[in-house]
Chains A and B, each alone.
Chain A
Amino acid sequence: MRIPVHKNSPVVLRAMKSFKLNTGGGITLDFDSFQLSNTYDTVVDIEEFRFFVTPNPLNAVKYSANNGLWTQFDFGALFSVKIGSTKVPITEEFVHLRSLAEPKQWNLNCNYDLSASQIPYNSTFYSWKLRKPMSMRPGDGIRASAQLDPSVLWPVDPSLVNPDYDPPGPVFTGVDVWICAIGKLRDEPLADALEYPWAMEWNPVIQPLGGSTSVVRAYAATGENQFRNRRPSDMRVQRLVASLYARFTPTDANAPGATYSLPIDVLNYLTAAVDATLGDSMGYAIAAARTPLAALVDPRSGTWAFETNLKYDEQFPAEVFANPIPAALFPAGANVDIQPTLFPHLAIIGSQMVGVPR
């Protein structure tokens, strides 16, 4: 029986996957595509993607209370998603949730300003509001996968990977990852070409070089395919998103609560840790000099919003340079003789034009 819909009826699609953290990183799970399909008899316009990552059970995050400097962390640095519609990829490979999220929610995602006295419940929420609605015809759907980082920032703490570590007890540690697409039923015919969202990310890893007094700079650069438009159409670039994560070596690796890594966006804290350059395929320098990453983007939002095109096969070559971090900025328990491994996450968010098959 056909259900009489309301004009512009809202649509909420959602799916969830559970990850078990103690099996290690590198796991990829596919969301149930049926739950993210357009089962209506008309076009659905998706206006926003939402992601929700929450520990299950609650003990999974108890460890962070042991972390003396940062009491919260950002699941968006650990989990990435690969999204596409039935016919059109939306992300190039996996993109971290933190990079997709609305820039204004920096504080919200990281829960950075919660006091240590509060019990940390690290469920985190991310919202990616699309600049133009993504139209899905009847029968089309969203194909999405979530990935727990294979190596970056992993493992983070013994209490996460060892269920008997802290707290003791027969518990497993897991995380539920939800994806949600919100929009409405469309009551107008589709245009010949549609604007679809698009995102890609570059995740260099900068290895440590010496102690806190070292002047040697570590370096990484985009490869052949990173930040390159491999789609048949132009990409409209709308914003550059950057975040920074760090892994310190603890003085005593066996100490309870030793800080192995900081899966928190420390761009605001380690403001001079990473410089970056950005150019385009024509040799034009978008950011020529080594610019602190914290200056290239708005440090509060981690975003630089701009408008430009990235044509087919063009690339935004980028470089990142690590600067020595002063010992005073090391977290408690970290070995100041070893510089941290740095994980800058750089992403380009935009849109693409796709034709509508008739």
Chain B
Amino acid sequence: MADDKTDNHNVIPIRISAPKRATGPSPLIQAMRSEMAPTSLRVARPGPATRAPMGVTVHGRPTSSRLVAPSQIITPGQEVAPVPMPAGSRWGVPGAAPLHAPLADYDDGVPIFQWATAGELAPQDDAPVSNAALINPGDYPVMIEEVRFNLSSERPFVNPGTLGVKLDLGPFPITNDFAHLFAIDGVENIFLGESNPSFTPLVSDGDALQSVATFRWRPPGGIYLPPRGVVTSQFTHFGLNSNGVIADLSYSGKQLSMPAQRRETSVPFVVTFQTSGVNYFGFDFRPGHLRFKTQVQSSTEQQLWNSLRESVNIKRLTGRLLFFNGNEQFYSDENYQLLDQCIYVRLRTSRGYKILKDYAPFRLVFGRDTRCFETDFWLDPGEYVIADLKFTPGNLAGSTANNGAALPTAVTVAPVIGMMGHRSVEL
């Protein structure tokens, strides 16, 4: 049950018109029998203009103007046609839309792509990205649909885990401090390489460039960039190795065809947390030889927290595993299942609410397909999520393959957990 604070978060249910009792099958059954779509939808009560897939409850703040084109505004009480749902589509499922689904509300508009570089970052360096190159040059607002981070290095392995980024939309922070590129977003179909490959070795013929990584983020709802607005960004090198890394940032989206009349908008918010590295190398996991000690690391109250003055609607929790070894080589968690059964996670919030009461495998909670799970809850200012990470011998215990026979070189692991959402702000 929601308390008084959370009751302030407006809920705009789109409900099927109330059925008359005892006159036949329920509307849902009728809907299933007739092309799986109800005959009409009604906006149940006054609220922000919105558009949603069939049967979906849209959550928004009372004062928020949702991100819609004028032609798609629904007035309270207005009958609207149901949104068709193609066969096999998951669009009608709350929280189950594809991670990188297009923003259907912005099909119109001229595409725009902006790119800028922070240059090469040495370990422990911070470097800003040129604002001038990323500014919205037009007289119309831009809806950023995708932010892309490109990393390259003269060393064989570059990994988004080596860098963090701080993003601001004018006076509104998008990240709290530096966020790990690794954990800003989930991934989709990683084995097909469709998004977020952690590293893509580039075979070079003597050139200096050895490896590149592209990491993309599609914030839910996009980022509204007013005319002359800019997303300021700064990279940092966490110093986990001595490799220099060249960092670029780009964004793509649409120039909206409506003038900038918006006074409020939704701004994303991202925080991440990384444990210190836990070394799995050098232990003999054969029966009777085990020396690895189970240990627990937890996030603090100011890591996975809402540091803003507004409540944040958390849409996604991400979890990545960063592997590295003593040779300054990083390994991604993709294609990598070595410690699947060794790392467990437990989640709770500052209210004492237990999202995940008992420990569960990290790869189960942050699923192997997307590295995340979808949520839709609100964190008020100052509230936080505590992640407890337990490192156990797991299924290495009892293994007769010890000390490198079963363990490849990447044996130190540092899980990274990210929390992403958005809030409404006044422009």
The reply to whether chain A is a binding partner of chain B is yes
Distance in angstroms between the alpha carbons of A94 and B338 in the assembled complex:
29
* A8 engages B287 (CB within 8 Å): no
Which residues 69-113 of A have a CB within 8 angstroms of B? Answer: 102, 104-105, 107-108, 111, 113
A47-B96, A131-B90 as given contacts; A184 in contact with B341, CB under 8 Å:
no
* B335 engages A114 (CB within 8 Å): yes
Does A26 have its Cβ within 8 Å of any Cβ on chain B?
Answer: no
Distance in angstroms between the alpha carbons of A50 and B13 in the assembled complex:
28
* A56 engages B395 (CB within 8 Å): yes
Distance in angstroms between the alpha carbons of A351 and B293 in the assembled complex:
46
* B90 engages A8 (CB within 8 Å): no
Q: Which of A145-153, A168-176, A203-211 contacts B (4 or more CB under 8 A)?
A: A168-176
Which residues 152-203 of B have a CB within 8 angstroms of A? Answer: 189-192
Which residues 8-27 of B have a CB within 8 angstroms of A? Answer: 9, 11, 13, 19, 26
The 6 nearest A-B residue pairs measured at CB = A305-B88, A125-B368, A57-B398, A121-B337, A7-B6, A169-B400
| Cβ-defined partner of B28 (8 Å) among A57, A131, A176, A191 | A191
| Cβ-defined partner of A171 (8 Å) among B55, B90, B335, B400 | B400
Does A215 have its Cβ within 8 Å of any Cβ on chain B?
Answer: no
Does B373 have its Cβ within 8 Å of any Cβ on chain A?
Answer: yes
Q: Which residues of B contact A168 (CB under 8 A)?
A: 400
Chain A positions within 8 Å of B, measured between CB atoms, are: 3-12, 14, 35, 41-42, 47-48, 50, 52, 54-60, 62, 102, 104-105, 107-108, 111, 113-114, 118-119, 121-123, 125, 127, 129-133, 167-172, 176, 178, 180, 182, 184, 187-188, 191-195, 233-234, 236, 238-239, 303, 305-307, 309, 353
| Cβ-defined partner of B364 (8 Å) among A14, A119, A122, A131 | A14
Does B252 have its Cβ within 8 Å of any Cβ on chain A?
Answer: no
Q: Which residues of B contact A58 (CB under 8 A)?
A: 395-396, 399, 401, 406
Does B82 have its Cβ within 8 Å of any Cβ on chain A?
Answer: no
* A3 engages B26 (CB within 8 Å): no
* B192 engages A107 (CB within 8 Å): yes
Does B64 have its Cβ within 8 Å of any Cβ on chain A?
Answer: no
Question: Among the interface residues B19, B26, B88, B337, which one has the most CB atoms of the partner chain A within 10 A?
Answer: B337
A21 to chain B minimum Cβ distance, whole angstroms, is 13
A-B pair count, CB < 8 Å, reads 215
Measured CB to CB, the nearest residue on chain B to A129 is B96
* B399 engages A12 (CB within 8 Å): no
Q: Which residues of A contact B88 (CB under 8 A)?
A: 238-239, 303, 305-307
Distance in angstroms between the alpha carbons of A193 and B21 in the assembled complex:
13
* B287 engages A170 (CB within 8 Å): yes
Distance in angstroms between the alpha carbons of A238 and B399 in the assembled complex:
43
A sample of 18 inter-chain contacts (CB < 8 A) reads A4-B3, A6-B2, A10-B377, A56-B341, A57-B399, A59-B399, A62-B401, A107-B189, A107-B192, A108-B191, A108-B368, A119-B406, A131-B92, A132-B55, A171-B287, A192-B19, A194-B28, A234-B29
Does B390 have its Cβ within 8 Å of any Cβ on chain A?
Answer: no
Distance in angstroms between the alpha carbons of A119 and B411 in the assembled complex:
14
**Per-position binary interface string of chain B over residues 361-385, scored 1 when its CB falls under 8 Å from any chain A CB and 0 otherwise:** 1011101111001111111000100
Distance in angstroms between the alpha carbons of A338 and B42 in the assembled complex:
64
Size of interface on B: residues with Cβ below 8 Å to A: 75
Distance in angstroms between the alpha carbons of A6 and B1 in the assembled complex:
8
Distance in angstroms between the alpha carbons of A123 and B367 in the assembled complex:
12
Which residues 266-325 of B have a CB within 8 angstroms of A? Answer: 285-287, 317
A125-B364, A193-B29, A353-B28 as given contacts; A11 in contact with B1, CB under 8 Å:
no
Distance in angstroms between the alpha carbons of A42 and B1 in the assembled complex:
7
Measured CB to CB, the nearest residue on chain A to B35 is A307
* B363 engages A123 (CB within 8 Å): yes
A113-B191, A131-B90, A167-B401 as given contacts; A50 in contact with B367, CB under 8 Å:
yes
Distance in angstroms between the alpha carbons of A85 and B340 in the assembled complex:
29
Chain B positions within 8 Å of A, measured between CB atoms, are: 1-3, 6-7, 9, 11, 13, 19, 26, 28-29, 32-33, 36, 55, 57, 59, 87-88, 90, 92-96, 189-192, 285-287, 317, 335, 337-338, 340-341, 347, 349, 351-356, 358, 360-361, 363-365, 367-370, 373-379, 383, 394-401, 406, 408
* B93 engages A14 (CB within 8 Å): no
A113-B191, A123-B363 as given contacts; A307 in contact with B3, CB under 8 Å:
no
Distance in angstroms between the alpha carbons of A102 and B338 in the assembled complex:
23
A132-B92, A193-B26 as given contacts; A9 in contact with B287, CB under 8 Å:
no
* B369 engages A102 (CB within 8 Å): yes
Measured CB to CB, the nearest residue on chain B to A40 is B1
* A5 engages B351 (CB within 8 Å): yes
* B341 engages A127 (CB within 8 Å): no
Q: Which residues of A contact B352 (CB under 8 A)?
A: 3-4
Distance in angstroms between the alpha carbons of A306 and B2 in the assembled complex:
39
Measured CB to CB, the nearest residue on chain B to A182 is B373
Distance in angstroms between the alpha carbons of A57 and B399 in the assembled complex:
6
* A167 engages B1 (CB within 8 Å): no
* B395 engages A4 (CB within 8 Å): no
* A12 engages B397 (CB within 8 Å): no
A176 to chain B minimum Cβ distance, whole angstroms, is 7
Distance in angstroms between the alpha carbons of A176 and B364 in the assembled complex:
12
A311 to chain B minimum Cβ distance, whole angstroms, is 10
Question: Among the interface residues B26, B341, B349, B356, which one has the most CB atoms of the partner chain A within 10 A?
Answer: B341
Q: Which residues of A contact B406 (CB under 8 A)?
A: 58-59, 119
A188-B13, A353-B29 as given contacts; A118 in contact with B335, CB under 8 Å:
yes
* B349 engages A6 (CB within 8 Å): yes
* B367 engages A125 (CB within 8 Å): yes
Distance in angstroms between the alpha carbons of A8 and B101 in the assembled complex:
22
* B96 engages A130 (CB within 8 Å): yes
